Amino acid sequence: MKTKYLLPLAAVALTALPSMGFAQEAGVEAATHTGYIFTTLLFLIGGFLVFWMAAGFAMLEAGLVRSKNVTMQLTKNIALFSIAAIMYWLVGFNIMYPGAYGADLADGEVSKWLIDGWLGPFFSITSLEPVGLADTETALDYASVGSDFFFQLMFCATTASIVSGTLAERIKLWPFLIFVVVLTGFIYPIEASWQWGGGWLSAAGFSDFAGSTLVHAGGGFAALAGAIVLGPRLGKYKDGRTNPMPGSNLALATLGTFILWLGWFGFNGGSQLAMGTIGDVADVSRIFANTNMAAASGAVAALILTQVMYGKVDLTMVLNGALAGLVSITAEPLAPSLFMALVTGAIGGVIVVLTVPMLDKMKIDDVVGAIPVHLIAGIWGTLAVAFYTGNWGAQILGIAAIGIFVFVTSLVVWFILKATVGIRVDEEAEITGLDVAELGMEAYPDFTKG
């Protein structure tokens, strides 16, 4: 996903396509009708796999909260995805790829399909436009606009999914959803435009293949800001001790992890953005294999480390280890050998085991471990790209710029929400559980609570 959308690269036409990714090792063809279909198909398959990650987050989070908050967590997850789908269309896509909705963009039918009902230049925020649009192509010529929109939308939704887990079990539904509106409509599209929209970060040499920073650390920073403003759950930190609040359904949490792992093949593989040549499909293949390896090594690292450190294996750490491995390889899933993918993922797994207790020491209550998994492993993965590009400065710049932007804007939004509508349920509701107190509906009404 190094490629810009409407901007110079597209403008220099199809001969430039094979230079995306590392597609040099095999013979390349000029993009043809067949290549267009293959790349569109990559977006569709990649897109439905990343869609599936929304179910993964829902199951992971539903499994890691206490049973009294499960209905609420499920509600937040399906609602946030739905809101993301609408907001990304309403404003996000056009912010991320400036001019995407412009009258000069697309041939008639596609343009009408996209912008019919759109609220117009009010949301266009053209001042964010990083480079002049005058000389850009008016439409994609290597894949269908619909497939591209579908695929990109899923990344935006993923960013929001990351936030919901951290803030579980104490945040009110509607303020959370208002934050999702801002995150998916504005914050994510703006920072993502800096890189994938052909903005200043991509010009500065920053590299983030599928979004270790743009999506995962981005979501993690938004979650961190929320966790700070919201505060920990009642009783979580008491008398200097961290009180464990075990998840209510580890089968669901494991299912969620497997779903995310599956979806990640689309997340990373689809980010090759091309499948019409032997070189590109071979790249996609190695991305699949590397992605799988990093997840596996992240899981094994957490398995071994929890055994060594605590004398017993901790399943939730193993699950988060796999996810951290996945996040770690996301910034560069193509360049590493399988062995380096193993190393990259294993370090991600180690990071999770070591940083989960650190957060607790700082009294930052992250219910599902999303900050270690997505933010900290995301930073690690993004930094590791410099082993291949050599450009440490650009990587640090990208992490810092996106981190500061997302964290500060999120903090502002959370503070505004806190000061106006309030973001936290009252104590009684938190003790009772959000399901009964806020929604009047238990997730497991037939099972006696222990």
Q: What are phi and psi of 77, to 5 degrees?
A: -70, -45
Among 120, 134, 241, 448, binds its own copies (CB under 8 A): 448
Residue with tokens 């938190």: 430
Minimum CB separation of residue 303 from its own copies in Å reads 6
Site for its own copies, residues 235 to 254, rule: CB under 8 A = 246-252, 254
- The site string for its own copies over 11-30 (x = CB under 8 A, - otherwise) reads --------------x-x-x-
Amino acid in the structure at residue 91? V
Shortest distance (Å) from residue 35 CB to its own copies: 9
Amino acid at 390: G
Cα–Cα distances in Å, from 68 out to 169, 359, 439? 9, 24, 11
Q: Do 141 and 16 form a contact (C-beta atoms < 8 A)? A: no
CB of 143 to its own copies, least distance (A): 8
For residue 56, which of 138, 208, 158, 179 has the smallest C-alpha distance? 158
Per-residue binding letters, 277-316, with its own copies (x by CB under 8 A): xx--xx-xxx-xx--xx-xxx-xx--x---x----xxxxx
Report CA Rg, the chain. Answer: 21
As a whole number of angstroms, the distance between CA 195 and CA 207 comes to: 8
- Distance (Å, rounded) from C-alpha 151 to C-alpha 50? 8
Query: What's the CA gap between 370 and 319, in Å, rounded?
Result: 12
Question: In this complex, which beta carbon is closest to its own copies, that of residue 240 or of residue 445?
Answer: 445
Give me the DSSP letters along 302-326.
HHHHHHHHHSS--HHHHHHHHHHHH
Q: Which of residues 51-80 bind its own copies (CB under 8 A)?
A: 51-52, 54-55, 58-59, 62-63, 66-68, 70-71, 74-75, 77-79
Stretch binding its own copies (CB under 8 A), from 13-21, 41-49, 197-205, 373-381? 41-49
By CB under 8 A, is residue 446 in contact with its own copies?
A: yes
Under the binding rule (CB under 8 A), the answer on residue 164 touching its own copies is no
Residues 138-157 close enough to bind its own copies by CB under 8 A: 144-147, 149-150, 153
Nearer to its own copies, 151 or 186 (CB): 151
Distance of CA 82 to the CA centre of its chain: 15
Q: Which is nearer to its own copies, 39 or 136 (CB)?
A: 39
Of residues 32 and 420, the one with the C-beta less far from its own copies:
32
Residue 124 makes contact with its own copies by CB under 8 A: no
User: Residue 60 is encoded by which pair of tokens?
Assistant: 């992971």
93 exposed, middle or buried (CB, 10 Å; 0-12, 13-18, 19+)? buried
Query: Per rule CB under 8 A, is residue 105 in the interface with its own copies?
Result: no
Would you state the structure tokens that stand for residue 86, as one six-digit string? 């609408």
Which residue number, 152 or 166, has a Cβ lying nearer to its own copies?
Answer: 152
List 211, 220, 276, 348, residue binding its own copies (CB under 8 A):
276
By CB under 8 A, how many residues form the interface with its own copies?
Answer: 122
Q: Judge contact between 28 and 277, C-beta under 8 A.
A: yes
Interactions with its own copies, residue window 357-416 (CB under 8 A): none
